[in-house]
Amino acid sequence: MNLRDIHTPVLLERCVELLAPALQHDGAVLVDATLGMGGHSEALLERFGNIRLIGLDRDTDALRIAGQRLERFADRVTLVHTVYDEIGLHAHGASGILMDLGVSSLQLDEAERGFAYSKDAPLDMRMDQTKGTTAADVLATYSEGNLRRIFERYGEEKLAARYARFIVRSRDEKPLVRSQDLVDLLQAATPAAAQRAGHPAKRVFQALRIEVNSELSVLADAIPAAMDALTVGGRIVVMSYQSLEDRLVKQAFAAASASTAPAGLPVELPQHAPRFRTITKGAEIAGEDEKARNPRAIPVRLRAAERIREAA
């Protein structure tokens, strides 16, 4: 299996460009907090022969594949099986941090993982298959109100109440254990006019995945922990693929790059100065050429920031 043929890292050159100023010195430490199949890390290890990589991932399959891919750099690589909100335990003094959020190419492409509504498979959706609640468990045990809540909040689904009601009514007769079971139910529950607006399962599958993996709560903890772990001059690059993720990143970067001086203070004291500066102007997106080559780059939103002073 040639990983380069099946896995094209999103915005690779831009990530390298943004992280480069922080990785020039000897002993620089790069933390890839969402290692996946290691495409970004491989490129950065190739281009910066001085760096040491710490790669984090909750998916044991991803760690195994990335380990094979990065084997030639073994003396400079440490791989850790963990969820990336534990980044503070592994990244103190980091020079650069990269986060490529959401579901990985590996998880989408392996049908048996249950992430893709276009492929029939067990409704699992766990990024770490060694523990936790599956999507089938959520559908079988959550109340109608809780199902509606996650579909609305995490999927921004307008038909959340209708879908939750159909699921609760149907599950006693036919448990929803496979992705096709859920797709069939959602299609039956969706008015014809709404079906023309896109596949009815898209937002529900996204919401279930986020719930199963606690993605937004993990991200909310991980971003400030990662920023705290950076040295002065260190940089963090984050790629998001849906608006809920991007909003959390935007808010964290904005808070860290703003003065904390009380309103009306005539002179800003050093302890109130911003700790970070944003490098990107808003969120950057992939160019049309990359979107054509790599459809998974279509929804990406990239933000980057640099640490400019120690905490007060």
pLDDT of residue 6: 53
Q: What is the 3-state secondary structure (H, E, C) of the chain?
A: CCHHHHCCCCCHHHHHHHHHHHCCCCCCEEEECCCCCCHHHHHHHHHCCCCEEEEEECCHHHHHHHHHHCHHHHHHEEEEECCHHHHHHCCCCEEEEEEECCCCHHHHHCHHHCCCCCCCCECCCCCCCCCCCCHHHHHHHCCHHHHHHHHHHHHCCCCHHHHHHHHHHHHCCCCCCEHHHHHHHHHHHCCHHHHCCCCCCHHHHHHHHHHHCCHHHHHHHHHHHHHHHEEEEEEEEEEECCHHHHHHHHHHHHHHCCCCCCCCCCCCCHHHCCCEEECCCCCECCCHHHHHHCHHHCCCEEEEEEECCCCC
Structure tokens at 28: 């620089």
pLDDT of residue 175: 93
Domains of the chain in sequence order: 3-106+215-307 (3.40.50.150), 129-212 (1.10.150.170)
pLDDT score of 69 more than 70: yes
Asked if 114 contacts 179 with a C-beta cutoff of 8 angstroms, the reply is yes
Asked if 243 contacts 312 with a C-beta cutoff of 8 angstroms, the reply is no
Residues 150-206 pLDDT 10s: 999 999 999 999 999 999 999 989 999 999 999 999 999 999 888 777 888 999 999
Q: Which residues pair with 114 in a beta bridge?
A: none
pLDDT of residue 67: 97
CA 43, 242, 216: angle at the middle one, nearest 5? 95
pLDDT score of 149 more than 70: yes
Residue 250 or 104, more confident: 250
pLDDT of residue 267: 66
Task: Name the pLDDT band for 143 (thresholds 50, 70, 90).
Answer: very high
What is the β-pairing status of strands 77-81 and 52-57? parallel
Is 282 flagged in the annotation as binding?
A: no
pLDDT of residue 290: 97
pLDDT of residue 268: 66
Residues 15-44 pLDDT 10s: 999 999 999 999 999 999 999 999 999 999
Is 195 flagged in the annotation as binding?
A: no
Please measure the distance between the N-terminal and C-terminal CA atoms of the chain and give it in whole angstroms: 50
Is 84 flagged in the annotation as binding?
A: yes
Q: Which residues pair with 4 in a beta bridge?
A: none
pTM of the model: 0.92
Percent of the chain scoring above 70 in pLDDT: 94
CA distance 193 to 237: 40
What is the β-pairing status of strands 276-278 and 230-240? unpaired
Is 57 flagged in the annotation as binding?
A: yes
Is 100 flagged in the annotation as binding?
A: yes
pLDDT of residue 200: 86
Is 39 flagged in the annotation as binding?
A: yes
Residues 89-104 pLDDT 10s: 999 999 999 999 988 8
Is 92 flagged in the annotation as binding?
A: no
pLDDT of residue 269: 65
What is the β-pairing status of strands 301-307 and 276-278? antiparallel
Output the average pLDDT for the chain. 93
pLDDT of residue 26: 94
CA distance 135 to 122: 9
